[in-house]
Structure 1
């Protein structure tokens, strides 16, 4: 495994932070509405917390809460209040929510937005207000091409994820034909296009299709897939659509290897398709979720602490949520309590996170670009390893 690990000292610090979190209780709720008090700083968290794809967003929210609870339990000069904004992943909801966060709640930073579509809509508002944001899961490449100075993410873009998944599939299956399909959401189209382009560059014949996000009957697309008889199928999108699509593909008798990206790295993919239909499916992600990587060191400390705190195993982007919150915490600990001060600090930030080394490029992208491959085995998502070394089970 080529994944970079945190240093021993960082692991010890994390263990201490988790111990503080265990006895610290609630989420830094000191200070009321209407803005930060002299001793309280407000950091927002925005994403789909109750909608159909909330399974991707609750883990990073929990990771962020875990880091902030541990920080607050250490009795710092300034407490952090994590203010949650449930956008349900909708760009239309994200804009008024982020406006409220800035104007009424007076946040000095935002973890999120979680999805690419809502990020595209809300980030210009954050940019105008000079509020730094760090997304744990928005992966569309275009987000880093707008010249934004307050945008950051602790996750590799789809321009890294898409080719890595396609390269893995080419290496594992040597496909002559591939079918790439997505819904019409910002994230979905961007990831599918990245995979399509990489397949094409490697001489794989590709058919491309797209359906509306609100669709639930994919019979037209399934008919195209069946007629094309591809060696591999790639779906760009979230697990709520992916599970239904995979079920209908298998019901039609199509047995080609099904692969997808981080938006479907959730048990909802298996539940939506059914365990039998989902078996063997490949899911790539700029994150590594439980498996061999959680047996020792800081990752094991994180996973143990997360499970103890939330009574559930950590899932997709839980570590990225923790690292995003940690970046804000480090800025505040350095004495940068204003939004501009925090943003200036983030430009120089470099630390060994739980998920990966955290250092931002000038465009806001994280320097680390490792992509990991997971596979559905016996009804569970299992980590196969780094995309450059993983082997099909």
Structure 2
């Protein structure tokens, strides 16, 4: 399919999809094990803040001194660690490359990574530990919108800025959090992008929609359904599941309904087995899903079942961003693997945090407060990153975001090699709702 690029107004979406900015979602995580491996304590807890020097024992420290930490929250263990580790690593490279802005001012800078395990309750517990460390002034995270939404109240209560490289649920920026920002688009748009592509390019007439019962997966599935019903695609089913391995109870009614398309709202660790089992049963429906599928792990889990399928993304391969070429080389050299989706966005999110802290410190004449960092992000103009130029609107969304439609390569080879050959078939720059 030919590559397309440019503005796409999605007028049908903008009238309808925003009527319900974000669907309700259950509080439970997608699929939590019996007990989290590290809750409520984080996997990598921040070190205790150094004791204040006694005035009679030592001279006052210079104004531009002290330790500054920037935290990350993402899944570093469990089935979604492939993307979560990429977020941490991208932020790590960002601090390595841009932290000099703060060290030259006299500060000591440090990365404080936290493993949220893709579980809302773990992320919320980590958020309390983050808030209790006065040296942490900004957060790069999360991968999962449901985890971010569970953590944001604590961030808000402690005036901590969160710059997300991956969270797409509209509620992140529609809930009145003045401390929440993101460098990616939103699912009310992504769902509409997917529906229009399915209807106009794939010629889909009927669809069965499955989601993972999370804020992210159910959210984007709801937006896809709204547009499908509005535009004449027959929705034969809409069902949520937390199942990870045996999808017989889901696939039986799908096979009976015989849809043109199966749309899955969720992450690759659940989509892979679902798609593979669908093909094993002889289901011939096409597959489509959002950016949660954007990982070579999907190929490892589903094999040939997903070759040739389409998916939408707010991130896209790093190769799609010319200014990220050096980042891709550095990532490969440091971590011995290709940079995964959202890692370059995490690099930019880290850059936004660093610039804001530096600007706030300069204005304050010393180590800034968390409130000053939040305000610095809000007051700052355009940030030129490796994945694009970012200016935030009053909600914390980029004023314009890029959305992609990609097709999984049908070539043979290692999953990572095949995934890197995925083709961008559509690229759309769309203003924030």
Q: Please tell me the TM-score bracket, short chain as reference.
A: 0.7 to 0.9
Q: Which residue is equivalent to 1:145?
A: 174
Which of 279, 299, 302 lines up with 2:307 in the alignment?
A: 279
Deviations 1:310-344, CA, capped at 9 Å, x for gaps = 22111110111011000011112224332111111
Shift in Å, 1:76? 2.0
Q: Indicate conservation of the 8 Å contact 1:178/1:205, yes or no.
A: yes
1:49 to 70, 76, 84: 76
2:22 counterpart residue number: none
Offset from partner CA, 1:359-389 (integer Å, 9 cap, x none): 1111111222221122221252313143459
- Structure 1 runs (4+) greater than 6 angstroms displaced: none
How far apart in 1 are the matches of 2:202 and 2:136? 48
Give the structure 1 partner of residue 342 of structure 2: 317
Asked if 1:198 is matched to 2:193, the reply is no
CA distance in 1, matches of 2:350, 2:126: 20
Of 247, 270, 285, the match for 1:256? 285
Partner of 1:224: 253
Distance in 1 between residues matched to 2:287 and 2:51, nearest whole Å = 48
Q: Which moved more, 1:371-380 or 1:32-41?
A: 32-41
331-340 or 140-149, larger mean C-alpha shift: 331-340
The structural deviation recorded for 1:183 is: 1.5
Structure 1: which 5+ runs fail to align? 5-30
Looking at structure 2, the residues matched to 208 and 61 of structure 1 have their Cα atoms a distance apart, in angstroms, of: 37
- Which residue is equivalent to 1:372? 404
Q: Which runs of 5+ in 2 are unaligned?
A: 8-45, 53-64, 362-367
Deviation by residue 1:225-244 (Cα, 9 ceiling, x = unmatched): 11121112110001100001
1:140 is displaced (CA, Å) by: 0.9
Cα distance in 2 for partners of 1:82, 1:342 equals 17
Task: Select the residue among 354, 369, 375 that pairs with 1:338.
Answer: 369
Local SS of the residue matching 1:347: helix
**Distance in 1 separating the partners of 2:287 and 2:402:** 21
Contact 2:217/2:266, CA 8 A, preserved across alignment:
yes
Residue pair 2:244, 2:269 contacting (<8 A) in 1 also: no
The Cα offsets for residues 206-261 of structure 1, whole Å up to 9 and x where unpaired, read as 12332432442111211121112111211000110000100111111112210111
Larger Rg: 2
Q: Secondary structure at the match of 1:57?
A: helix
Q: State the partner residue of 2:268.
A: 239
2:160 corresponds to which residue? 131
Tell me the CA shift for residue 79 of structure 1: 3.3
Would the alpha carbon gap of residues 84 and 3 (structure 1) be closer, same or farther in structure 2, given more than 3 Å must change? Answer: farther
CA distance in 2, matches of 1:214, 1:105: 40
Describe the SS at the equivalent of 1:88: coil
TM-score by length of 2: 0.78
Matched residue of 1:370: which SS? strand
Going from structure 1 to structure 2, the CA distance change for 1:306 and 1:339 (only over 3 Å counts) comes to same
The residue aligned with 2:317 is 289
Say whether residues 1:174 and 2:203 are aligned partners.
Answer: yes
Residues 140 and 350 of structure 2 are in contact (CA less than 8 Å); yes or no, is this contact kept in structure 1? yes
Q: 1:89 aligns with which of 118, 140, 143?
A: 118
Aligned residues of 2:407 and 2:425 also touching (Cα < 8 A): no
Q: What is residue 7 of structure 1 aligned with on the other side?
A: none
CA contact (8 A) 1:374 1:383 kept: yes
SS class of match (1:108) = strand
* Matching residue of 1:383: 423
The whole-number CA distance in structure 1 between the counterparts of 2:394 and 2:428 is 27
Contact kept? 2:260, 2:286, Cα under 8 Å: yes
1:34 aligns with 2:74: no
Alignment pair present for 1:68 and 2:98: no
Cα gap change, 1:179 to 1:214, in 2 (>3 Å): closer
* Cα gap change, 1:307 to 1:158, in 2 (>3 Å): same
Determine helix, strand or coil for the equivalent of 1:124.
helix
**Structure 1 pair 36–256 and aligned structure 2 pair: CA distance change class (3 A):** farther
Determine the C-alpha separation between the residues in 2 that align with 1:241 and 1:310: 26
Distance, in Å, in 2 between the alignment partners of 1:342 and 1:225 is 50
Given the superposition, is the C-alpha separation of residues 62 and 3 from structure 1 closer, same or farther in structure 2, using an over 3 Å criterion? farther
